[in-house]
Amino acid sequence: MLNEALRQLGWDQMLDTYYAQLADEIAGLVVVSTFGFYALRLLANFRQGMLEKGWKQVAAGALALISAQFLFLVSLMGSSGWAGALNDIGEAMRFIAMIFLILGLRAHYLVWRVDKRVIAPVERSN
């Protein structure tokens, strides 16, 4: 009888939506954590070189994405008072992460671009 009353109120659909969103956020956290794991390993293995600047920015963007995804996940589990604030902070962290990723990709573009440069063929010795 209670299930039928809840179904009439639409609670069943609301719970399904909530669990689907929670599962989506957890899956996102797992995927982004893998991204962050390799970003941390990359940061630990840098040597001074032309590509270092770009990869450092990409790795910083990955770490910011992990932080944002974690904040989104916590905001789903929290009360409505601070959940909205965590959600807003997570949005800001995602924006910052995107900026770092764009800067990192731009740095790589600047290293690898070929525009009006004279490129001499490499002579190979046999």
Residues 69-111: pLDDT tens digits?
Answer: 888 778 777 767 788 888 888 888 888 988 988 888 888 888 7
Domain boundaries in the chain?
A: 35-110
Question: Which residues lie closer than 8 Å to 2 by C-beta, 6 or more apart?
Answer: none
Which ranges constitute the DSSP H helices of the chain?
A: 2-9, 11-44, 52-77, 80-112
More confident residue, 98 or 19: 98
Q: Are 19 and 62 in contact (CB under 8 A)?
A: no
Residues 24-66: pLDDT tens digits?
Answer: 878 877 887 887 787 777 777 777 677 778 888 888 888 888 8
Q: Is the pTM of this model over 0.75?
A: no
How many Cβ atoms are within 10 Å of 36's Cβ, its own excluded? 20
